[in-house]
């Protein structure tokens, strides 16, 4: 009896702790509330299964407890029980998987008119690239990465001449405007993660991954690396500043283009933090 009660208390305490826990989501700052809803649904499904399993264990401990003269019955197979477990498990997995697939489809289906922004991760810093006045990003190639061209941009691509290059500084985005984030790494696995955006994606060397989001409130949000990438992983941080269109344009006017930095012949050592000049 004592063991059965302890098991039930564990199940009840787990549910109560979840409902009254002070550790909830960070304030949402993008359109991805779908992800919050999906995670909440997963919690409810897994929580219900957890309570059911623990309650069943408590029942078995009490119902089939040792008693003098009682003998255990050997029953190696139970087709009915196996069918119920198989069907129940399949329904539970489908209930968790289906919403995730729907949200994933939305996550990678970029709306028309979204602005492309490139994020490059390397040990242990973030670099960004925004399209210039032509609205298009130039091409890049990992073989072009050098001390004078840390993002490996193609100097012969006319679309890249006016690209805004930002290294070791904050990324600025426009409030309410969809953004397609292009992600790449030049050394090891990284993961571009802004908790308030509910959006993150692994950055795989040799590949370009992507997702999109729409900033829904102004502010400054911390960028984290969500993939263990080496000794200074915890210090690989940056900021995303979401601002109104007017403020964003004023910030853009102060930035340097790839062509300007190339003319100086010192892209890697140029100062991108205009405020410190």
pLDDT at 175: 94
Is the pLDDT reported for residue 22 higher than 80?
A: no
Query: Has domain 115-276 been given CATH number 3.40.50.2000?
Result: no
Please work out, in degrees rounded to the nearest 5, the angle formed at the alpha carbon of residue 140 by the alpha carbons of 136 and 145.
140
Domain layout of the chain by residue ranges:
2-64+79-108, 115-276
Q: Where are the alpha helices (DSSP H) in the chain?
A: 2-20, 33-63, 79-108, 245-253, 258-264
What pLDDT, in 10s, does the model give residues 59-112? 888 888 777 877 777 777 888 888 988 998 898 888 888 888 888 899 999 998
Q: In this prediction, what percent of the chain has a pLDDT beyond 70?
A: 95
Q: Which of 241, 242, 198, 202 is nearest to 225 (CA)?
A: 202
Q: Tokens in use for 131?
A: 């399209």
| Helix and strand counts by DSSP (H, E) for the chain | 5, 10
Q: Which of 179, 213, 248, 224 is nearest to 30 (CA)?
A: 213
Question: Of 13-27, 191-205, 254-268, which has the strongest mean pLDDT?
Answer: 191-205
| Across 23-46, average pLDDT | 86
Supply the pTM of this predicted model: 0.75
- DSSP letter for 140, please: B
pLDDT at 91: 87
| Across 111-132, average pLDDT | 90
pLDDT at 272: 37
Task: State how far the alpha carbon of 257 is from the alpha carbons of 65, 136, 142, in Å.
Answer: 76, 13, 19
Contact 238, 170 (CB under 8 A): yes
Average pLDDT, the chain: 84
Confidence of residue 158 (pLDDT cuts 50, 70, 90): confident
| CA 90/CA 142 separation, integer angstroms | 44
What pLDDT, in 10s, does the model give residues 212-243? 999 999 999 999 999 898 888 988 999 999 99
Specify burial of residue 104 (Cβ count, 10 A radius: 0-12, 13-18, 19+): middle
Q: Where are the alpha helices (DSSP H) in 183-273?
A: 245-253, 258-264
Contact 239, 222 (CB under 8 A): yes
């Amino acid at each position: 009896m004592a063991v059965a009660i302890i098991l039930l208390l564990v199940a009840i305490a787990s549910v109560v702790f979840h409902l009254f826990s002070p550790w909830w989501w960070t304030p949402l700052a993008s359109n991805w509330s779908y992800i919050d809803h999906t995670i909440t649904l997963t919690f409810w499904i897994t929580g219900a299964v957890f309570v059911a399993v623990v309650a069943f264990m408590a029942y078995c401990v009490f119902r089939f407890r040792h008693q003098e003269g009682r003998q255990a019955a050997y029953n190696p197979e139970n087709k009915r029980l196996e069918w119920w477990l198989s069907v129940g498990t399949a329904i539970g997995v489908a209930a968790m998987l289906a919403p995730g697939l729907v949200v994933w489809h939305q996550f990678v289906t970029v709306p028309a008119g979204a602005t492309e922004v490139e994020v490059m991760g390397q040990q242990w810093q973030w670099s960004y690239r925004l399209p210039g006045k032509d609205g298009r990003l130039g091409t890049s190639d990992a073989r072009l990465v050098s001390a004078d061209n840390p993002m490996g941009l193609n100097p012969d691509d006319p679309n890249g001449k006016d690209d805004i290059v930002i290294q070791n500084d904050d990324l600025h985005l426009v409030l309410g405007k969809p953004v397609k984030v292009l992600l790449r790494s030049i050394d090891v696995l990284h993961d571009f993660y802004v908790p308030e955006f509910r959006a993150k994606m692994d950055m795989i060397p040799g590949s370009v991954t992507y997702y999109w989001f729409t900033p829904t409130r102004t502010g400054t949000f911390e960028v984290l690396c969500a993939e263990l990438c080496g000794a200074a992983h915890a210090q690989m941080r940056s900021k995303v500043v979401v601002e109104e269109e007017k403020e964003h344009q004023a910030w853009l006017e102060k930035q340097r283009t790839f062509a300007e930095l190339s003319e100086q012949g010192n892209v890697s050592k140029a100062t991108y933090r205009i405020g410190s000049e």
